Structure 1
């Protein structure tokens, strides 16, 4: 078993408080006693319990990162950038997978309320619910939202303009002469998906194209769902000239279904995906995608939370980042709709 503060005090023949002061370089300890204690610490490779120390000070130097779905290919980049900034500032990050379950999310948020973590970054999901609202109303709680929005309160938030990203994707297909554009998306109860739906609709409106609800397929957002979405449209007799898939997983399934159906990309269908991840990078032909500044997104979120913990408000309470479109071989100019 690892040595405790009590064990060191017993070996050194001093009080536990004296050991604590010596280890933390506090005054009130004689030089000889300090050297004796530090020698024992070195000899036994004593590691102080950081969590216990933090709880005593109501500060743990631990941040909670709440994610709604660990299968999202974009999250590793966000996680890495948050951890990088946190570690540079002496914080550790604990990953909390909520599985899009409100009760699990509530349980993780209670870690902040109980001072078991110093603050939390909440990524994605639906609009902020009452659990987040209640936590935000606690002036001692430090909370930052990423790609999620709270309509009732002003909570420090960093997000990518998903509506703009969907607009760019749809407009790109329109610019190729395609007016029949299928939208393969997740459920619109999720904030980001609802924003992408609005961006898609706005691009059609701005280009004088009437919305066709039959071209919109809502799914649970998986690769399998992308595959099934293509089959569903074909069974309905709906044959668009192009597809916009709102995630890389949906795009991967969609492309697979198109190929299995004996069609060619982009000769028969142009395809645009959302998310410049490892998944989208291995799709053949190379996929045209909407790319998000994920590294910047994560770093801004971490810095905002650490600033809050240091008593500083972010320069911008709601920071919106712009996506861009990367044109590759899955989309080429069309003369007319298929």
Structure 2
């Protein structure tokens, strides 16, 4: 059982306040008494309750990292980057998953409001709701958004330029002489996915091509959805020569369906995926992807938050990062 401040006081025959002063190297404790207390603490492997100390000092050296969904490898990599940067600065993280549920997000926000954490980083999710907007008007707004959008953004944010990323992917496929490019994306009500759709459309229009809405397919974010959408496409009136898939799990199902149908990548269909991680790395042939700058997203968001915590930020900051197009075999035309 973990020894407490009260236990040390009893063993040393002194008041708890005396133990506290001795352990925190504060005046008002005699030399012999201080040494006696420190010896007892060391022999019993005493560890201070960081949360209790933090609540008293209004600082915990803990940060809440609040994820909208945990089935995104990209989001998990961002969390790892935040954790790595936080440890170097003497902070720990508490990982919270809302599963896109507003009531859970509001509950986790209370950790910040009750000073159980020093700040919060929200990663992904729907349009910022009223509870978060309300928090933004607080003078003690210690919140950073990562890849989270708001109609009126009062938050310091680190964002990925999804539109520019998809623009790059379309440009690449067009250069490889693929003309009928299908987009397999998420729900159009999702602002992140809408940004990707916008980039796809802009690239086609800027290249003098019409946007064919029959080549845009919204699916759920899972492997089976990616598999099923290819079966749907192959039976349709417009058959594409290439695909851009905006999420990792969907991409895996899509590639599986292409292969199971007896088709070859990229001979029959070129494929560009999203996210350069363990899931996309196992696809054969090697997959061309839009690699999200996860390391920079995590590090930048942590640096911004520490500035807010330490009151070193004069005004709201927004940093926008662009995905990198990593070209591999899955999108190289044999006719070039």
SS at match of 1:144: strand
Corresponding residue for residue 243 of structure 2: 243
> 1:137-165 CA distances to partner (integer Å, 9 max, x unpaired)?
11113000001122313211001111111
Taking the TM superposition and a 5 Å limit, the aligned residue runs for 1:47-196 are 47-196=47-196
TM-score when scaled to structure 1?
Answer: 0.96
CA distance in 2, matches of 1:60, 1:190: 34
Corresponding residue for residue 32 of structure 1: 32
Shift of residue 188 of structure 1? 2.1
CA distance in 2, matches of 1:224, 1:35: 65
Corresponding residue for residue 321 of structure 1: 321
Shift of residue 226 of structure 1? 1.0
The alignment covers a number of residue pairs equal to 336
Asked if 1 retains the 8 angstrom alpha-carbon contact of 2:177 and 2:333, the reply is yes
SS at match of 1:104: helix
Asked if 1 retains the 8 angstrom alpha-carbon contact of 2:75 and 2:123, the reply is no
Shift of residue 75 of structure 1? 2.3
Assess, with a 3 A threshold, how the Cα gap between structure 1 residues 272 and 314 changes in structure 2: closer, same or farther: farther
SS at match of 1:286: coil
Comparing 71-80 and 322-331, the one that deviates more: 71-80
CA distance in 2, matches of 1:294, 1:231: 32
Asked if 1 retains the 8 angstrom alpha-carbon contact of 2:186 and 2:246, the reply is yes
CA distance in 2, matches of 1:221, 1:273: 13
> 1:86-137 CA distances to partner (integer Å, 9 max, x unpaired)?
1111211011011111111111111111211111000011221112101111
Asked if 2 retains the 8 angstrom alpha-carbon contact of 1:120 and 1:143, the reply is yes
SS at match of 2:117: coil
Name structure 1 gaps, 5 residues minimum. none
RMSD: 1.5
Corresponding residue for residue 309 of structure 1: 309
**1:254 corresponds to 2:280:** no
Asked if 1 retains the 8 angstrom alpha-carbon contact of 2:133 and 2:154, the reply is no
> 1:162-217 CA distances to partner (integer Å, 9 max, x unpaired)?
11111111111111222211100011222221110100000011011111111111
Taking the TM superposition and a 5 Å limit, the aligned residue runs for 1:35-46 are 35-46=35-46
Query: Runs of 4 or more off by more than 4 Å in structure 1?
Result: none
Shift of residue 237 of structure 1? 3.2
CA distance in 2, matches of 1:314, 1:258: 53
Assess, with a 3 A threshold, how the Cα gap between structure 1 residues 196 and 287 changes in structure 2: closer, same or farther: same
